Chain A
Amino acid sequence: MNATAQTRTLEKSPVIRITPPARWWEIPFGEVWEYRELLYFFVWRDIKIRYKQTAIGAAWAVLQPLLTMIVFTLFFGKLAHIPSDGLPYPIFYYSALLPWIYFAASLQNTTNTIVENQRVVTKVYFPRLILPLSSVCSGLVDFGVSFVMFVVMMIYFGMRPSAAVLWLPAFLLLALLTALGVGLWLSALNAIYRDVRYVVPFLVQFWMFASPVAYPSSLVPEKWRWVFGLNPMTGVIEGFRWSLSGHGEAPGRSLFVSMGVVILVLFTGVSYFHRMETTIADVV
């Protein structure tokens, strides 16, 4: 009875093939879906631990963009008189810092995720893609908390959201995919070359100045806009400003360039990560 039940489950259970390292195009998306519960647990763990170890917990998620916004408003706005396309400086900077801080934190966490979970990676099997995925997802909670602060600011400045705000999730998704795509490259590289983790803070800093966080993209000469648009975060930040404030023009051509770049980075990132995945446990 027991034996027949066993055999029956065996017939249903899939056959797992173990072969030498896979080729880059064999990406186990189905398997990632199968392990979605684990993804949830990793996200849950990251958030739990982050808030447990800090004294003021979730307040950090608000303080970081808030303080940065104040500094930017004072120095770039009031002192340097950088134009803000007609928006109040706090709104202008905070709406850009929302996606930017999410992106920067996700990129750093994703880079370190394989190394930080080294013990799990070398002792248990699961699709390694789960780890970077959980890093970019757990950042969304901080994003949500800091977003509440933005709503408060909108009320303070007496601004009403327009229909454009419905586009916000799409821009957030673009930020997530950018962080994931670049993070996949960096986390796999970081597992092999630990130097990467020291490079990332510089990368993030340079990247911020290459993105319209502290200035509007209207400052960039028209003929160089497309080069500027190669940076996917340009599209994300312009999109955030537009959809949150309802002012200005919807990002057009540069957004399509950004999307193209994200798709390219994401695709190569997943392939590279997956190629490394099979040997990561040996080298990490």
Chain B
Amino acid sequence: MSEAVIHAEGLGKRYQIGERERYRALRDVLSRAFVAPFRRGGRAREESHLWALRDVSLEVRQGEVVGLIGRNGAGKTTLLKILSRITRPTTGCAEIRGRVGSLLEVGTGFHPELTGRENVFLSGAILGMKNSEISRKFDEIVSFAAVERFIDTPLKHFSTGMQMRLAFAVAAHLEPEILLVDEVLAVGDLEFQKKCLGKMQDVSRSGRTIIFVSHQMNQIRRLCERVAWIDAGRIALDGPSEAVIGAYEHAILSASHATDGSLSSREAVSYLGWEVAQRRGSETNIVEEGTGPISIGIRVRNRARIGHGHVAVVVYDSRGFLICGWSFDDLQLGLGEHDLHFSFPELPLRPGAYSLLVNIHDDHQSSYSWTLVPSLIIEGVPVTHHMDEWAGVLNIPCSMECKEIELSARTSG
């Protein structure tokens, strides 16, 4: 077992509300000092505090690539800022072994008046590279950014895309033992994003420790074996990527559809729940990748007889793309509870979370739709294969063989 390079215990960060990202004018301080004696009690002060991070303990071993996920404002960036020493924690402590490099922003320290070349050196130095190190990697950085022709022009004449590429190229060549990255891969065109992701994978394969914040779950899946989900300043879940991402996506979906159940209970047809028949253990929404035939049961309660109804199921992936849908006519639904069974010879989907939408409508134009909660999770071994980004959504089996064509066959054909 490799040793822990990051050891954090009980980290907490308290901000005064309004203090973060805002400076104070002397006038405010003076007026507050003047008013304070006339204010009753200390309650108002207590309420103006916000714990951006609370009691976070984390241990990261050497070579681990850990993803940090969570809603906006959950405390992910605050955690990175504490670990990179930009700000100090209010409580708790952490120990870090090795050189830390942090990438909280692309183009830190860039100055528009300086040339591309000068900015590479300046930004590199600010990010913690030695002068000799930058000189050594200079050509590589410039060709990675593909800005060779403009390298001696002032940065202000660069297009935004070129600036971004150059900035990221500098950052990508940072070689600290521990790298903290905050959502910076989302720069440039698709082509460049792929290049960046590839570079990150190289870095992670070279045995460096990475903590990586992103909102793009496919990036996280591709890069990290382990994910910590931060919610409201605390670590909600920390473990293998698929499980944590699944739980997180589920929580997001159920939060956005939390109202569905209560609304539909007043309607003629209401949704009660669903489960996978080939379920694994106690989880009723998880299917293992590559399982053969699958059927899912959806339970509904009906208060008004439906003679000529229609039912449809639609599958979306986590980005909201419609994957496939099926619809069936001639649905007859009597009063009371029913199970609707949908059977598939197989569900050829890549690992991930999928949301299922069910719709029942009749000829009288009454229509009922529900997003199934929890969402369907296809579980698999987390892959960080370099071709993974090309794997797509569908998991259709395919085999390959290579045959040598004999000389006689070639001449005759």
Contact = CB atoms under 8 A, between A and B. Distances in A.
Contact of A20 (B29, B62, B91, B105): B91
B131 to A, nearest CB: 6
B86 A49 contact: no
Nearest to B96: A16
Interface in B205-243: 206-207
A21 interface: yes
Interface stretch (A55-63, A98-106, A118-126, A247-255): A118-126
B88 A18 contact: yes
Nearest to B22: A283
A219 B84 CA distance: 55
Contact of B20 (A2, A49, A282): A282
A16 B100 contact: yes
Contact of B27 (A53, A119, A191, A195): A195
Interface string A1-23: 01100110110010111111110
Interface in B324-341: none
Contacts, number: 137
B23 interface: yes
Contacts of B206: 2
Contacts of A10: 3, 5, 62, 97-98, 177
Contacts of B26: 193, 195
B109 interface: yes
Interface string A33-60: 0000110010011001100110000000
A192 interface: yes
Given A10-B62, A52-B113, A20 B90 contact: yes
Interface residues of A, number: 43
A72 to B, nearest CB: 34
B102 A125 contact: yes
A45 B111 contact: yes
B104 interface: yes
Interface string A241-284: 00000000000000000000000000000000000001101111
A194 interface: yes
Interface in B80-100: 81-100
Contacts of B109: 119-120, 124
A6 B97 CA distance: 12
B207 A41 contact: no
B114 A125 contact: no
A53 B112 CA distance: 11
Contact of B207 (A6, A124, A126, A281): A6
A125 B177 contact: no
Interface residues of B, number: 56
A37 B126 contact: no
B15 interface: yes
A191 B23 contact: yes
Please classify the interface of chain A as helix (H, G, I), strand (E, B), loop, or mixed, using the class held by over half of its residues.
helix
Contact of B85 (A2, A9, A125, A191): A125
Contact of B24 (A9, A18, A19, A193): A193
B373 interface: no
Contacts of B5: 10
A141 B354 CA distance: 63
A197 to B, nearest CB: 11
Nearest to B99: A13
Count chain A CB atoms within 10 A of each CB in B63, B88, B91, B118 and give the residue with the most: B88
Contact of B98 (A13, A22, A283): A13
A16 B95 contact: yes
Interface in B98-153: 98-100, 102, 104-105, 108-109, 111, 113-114, 118, 121-122, 125-128, 130-131
B62 A7 contact: yes
A122 B80 CA distance: 12
B97 A15 contact: yes
Interface in B53-101: 62-63, 81-100
A273 to B, nearest CB: 15
Contacts of A283: 19, 22-24
A55 to B, nearest CB: 14
Nearest to A38: B125
Interface in B25-73: 25-27, 29, 62-63
A50 to B, nearest CB: 10
10 interchain residue pairs of minimum CB distance: A41-B125, A18-B94, A125-B85, A195-B26, A13-B98, A193-B26, A16-B96, A278-B88, A123-B104, A123-B105
10 contacts: A6-B207, A9-B98, A10-B5, A37-B130, A41-B122, A52-B114, A123-B86, A195-B25, A278-B87, A284-B23
Given A21-B88, A45-B111, 15 more contacts: A7-B2, A16-B96, A17-B93, A18-B95, A45-B114, A49-B111, A52-B113, A53-B113, A123-B104, A123-B108, A124-B86, A126-B128, A194-B25, A195-B25, A195-B27
